Amino acid sequence: MQWTDDAILLKSIPHGETSLVVSLLTRSRGRQTGLIRGAQKSRQRGLYEIGNRVSATWNARLAEHLGAFRLEPIDSIAAVIFEDALRLACLDAAIALADISLPEREPHGQAFLALGVLLDSLRGDESYAVAHLRYELTLLTELGFGLDLAACAVTGATAELAYVSPRSGRAVSLAAGAAYKERLLILPRLLGGLGRDGTSDPQDLLDGLALSGFFFERSIFPAGQGRAMPLSRARYIERLTRIAASATKS
């Protein structure tokens, strides 16, 4: 059997002396894995960089087989941002999270679209870090653990939302959460927190990543299950933390 789909390259692993096993996030078939014979000797080795957009054709005798890929380039991102350490760290974090969290061969079209928006933003848009956070929230929704940030879980109010309940994943207003705010997560401005102006600073982004990270660790990577958040995400957050500290000092 055979199919062709647009895809984003998530990972490539050497297989034998000449081949690669690659993991792709496809537009309509979710995360897919396959073999590319001779890829390590190919003059197109740059084709197999993470984040590359490709047209992927998969062939196998049976659907449950590993199968073989043939890739045609559409767009490359790593070569564009290789001099920007923070953008590269953001790319690594986003790609690794998709590869680890998304189940194989299960369609997740919104995750594909959100990752595509992030890749476009990384090319030169200064709001790429916001796109990355929204991508993480989209992944949570696609995996069945989406947050409800439209109204206060206690009062139903849509104004002055400031927190998120760690139990329900629903927003909580400033007044309703005042008595137990130490047990709540911060709702950053860029996600509709106080101000609702859509702006962000490094600390606001860190609050947002703490929010999404909490629900990933609780629901997708629970302790003792043999999987964990990718280290590349922690490295990205470390870079943002240093920027936030510098901004505070200045």
pLDDT in tens, 200-227: 688 899 999 999 999 999 999 998 788 8
> What backbone torsions phi and psi does residue 248 show, to the nearest 5 degrees?
-65, -40
Q: For the structural domain made of 2-76, what CATH number should be given?
A: 2.40.50.140
CA-wise closest residue to 19 among 42, 49, 53: 42
What confidence score (pLDDT) does residue 226 get?
83
Asked if residue 62 has pLDDT above 90, the reply is no
pLDDT in tens, 190-203: 898 886 455 568 88
Q: For the structural domain made of 85-149+187-249, what CATH number should be given?
A: 1.20.1440
Give the span between the Cα atoms of 65 and 79, in whole angstroms.
33
What mean pLDDT is predicted for residues 65-89?
92
Give the span between the Cα atoms of 233 and 237, in whole angstroms.
6
pLDDT in tens, 95-119: 999 999 999 999 999 999 999 999 9
Question: What is the domain partition of the chain in residue ranges?
Answer: 2-76, 85-149+187-249
The predicted model scores a pTM of: 0.93
